[in-house]
Structure 1
């Protein structure tokens, strides 16, 4: 099976894709996986899945990567969501590399702790990936309101999320991807410094809380913890977050499998942190950095907790 078969099946290529030039192929020979260069030649740069994802020419977004993360040797943006999140191939050796992300809206970067082929064959086609990273429902609303995206366009929030916007259709606009990526960085320079490439925390995904109503009428606030993803979690979320005018009945951690395309289950938050002690890499202030776990490790944590 070809590395990209599941990706193309789930996110069909658009009709106006742009093929790479000979110069572009030569520039990335030996820097990116040969399978990706072959894919460029067979399909091309542009929208896939109606623009939910874009295969991009790294040269168009290298400046964005450098602006946000500083000089990144052997790191190349190769994929972008319809909302401007970049997925980056990081070459670790002559024969190995992994995949990372840069989320411009929440000013965070992270590593999937998985290789190129595994990412395209297993992680990217998973439904949980789409739910967590692609904003599928909002994308469809935005497309209906603003029209389809050109190759160099994304949807974004106005005002930005950090300045009062929200992930709701009334705040969504459409525009040039690079312009908005650079604008968001400049808007946040007074509040957030660029991530350091050698800092584990700068390469981790910071989980955000999701609120659910329980059958008894109470509220559950849950943080997602995804398979293979290095994740930053608060030590005591109840002291950092609140739901205005509401009482939270349950704080929880939900274990998400990108392999099985399902939620494996959830644990009460502090019980979950106790079970995750062996996987904690570092503590800073009110937060923990937990390394990406395999499916087997996550299932073991849940099983032991039940026992």
Structure 2
């Protein structure tokens, strides 16, 4: 195991609900995603960390989610994006084939953070290691609700997330009583259709 992922595991702990990555997926994304990420997939699979607060995912399962969120936005023409990770409450981490980890969407609020890539196209392995190193547990814990939600609703599987019902963009409250365990792809697609995607004020794209 390389040093970067060892540091990541020290921060997030061991994996949950691990799935092996088939050779077909490795072939599908070679040349589109960094070789370093594919090596992590090969060694560690797709799984959750910190009891499921952050997930490294199969991008193919989220192609519809990516299309739904980016349709009609400037990002649709800006790069080819793949979802490589997501949080328990629907934080979405996109990887651009040319721009790396340049886009994050907070789905519950329909807000995005976009940053100009610090890395050239031939430095994507370095960019991926930087992305992995910069992850932290608290940034994916919406309102410190993860532990209470896990206790009340049970742990998440790879295809699940904690969602507010009704959605916050429908005016629902962001309280534990209004959290449910929902299917991630379906819920994220629903959230993409409620409100127009808007930037956080500190986005620079």
TM superposition score normalised by structure 2: 0.83
Correspondent of 1:119 among 131, 148, 151: 131
RMSD: 2.2
Q: CA deviation at 1:12?
A: 2.1
Cα deviation digits, residues 177-236 of structure 1 (max 9, x gap): 0111112223x1xxx34x5xxxxxx5x434xxxxxxxxxxxxxxxxxxxxxxxx16xxxx
Question: Distance in 1 between the 2:179 and 2:142 partners?
Answer: 12
Task: Assess, with a 3 A threshold, how the Cα gap between structure 1 residues 49 and 131 changes in structure 2: closer, same or farther.
Answer: closer
Higher share of residues assigned helix = 2
Separation in structure 2 between the aligned mates of residue 131 and residue 112 of structure 1, nearest angstrom: 21
Superimposed CA distance per residue, residues 126-154 of structure 1 (whole angstroms, 9 cap, x where no aligned partner): xxxx4344327201100000000011000
CA 15–149 in structure 1, closer or farther in 2 if over 3 Å, else same: closer
Higher strand share: 1
**Structure 2 residues without counterparts, runs of 5 or longer:** 119-126
**Of the two structures, which has the highest relative contact order with CA contacts closer than 8 Å and spacing of 6 or more?**
2
* Largest Rg, 1 or 2: 1
Match of 1:37 in 2: 38
Partner of 1:89: 95
Please give the residue correspondences for 1:207-226 in structure 2 after superposition, counting only pairs within 5 Å: none
Residue pairs, 1:70-219, within 5 angstroms: 70=71, 71=76, 73-92=79-98, 97-113=100-116, 115-121=127-133, 123-125=134-136, 130-135=137-142, 137-186=144-193, 188=194, 192-193=195-196, 195=197, 204-206=199-201
TM-superposed CA distance for 1:98, in Å, is 3.1
- Alpha-carbon offset, residue 112 of structure 1: 4.5
Kept after mapping to 1: 8 A contact 2:94/2:103: yes
SS at 1:140's partner residue? helix
> How many residues are paired up?
190
Distance 1:104 1:69 in 2: 12
| Preserved contact between residue 48 and residue 54 of structure 1 (Cα < 8 Å) | yes
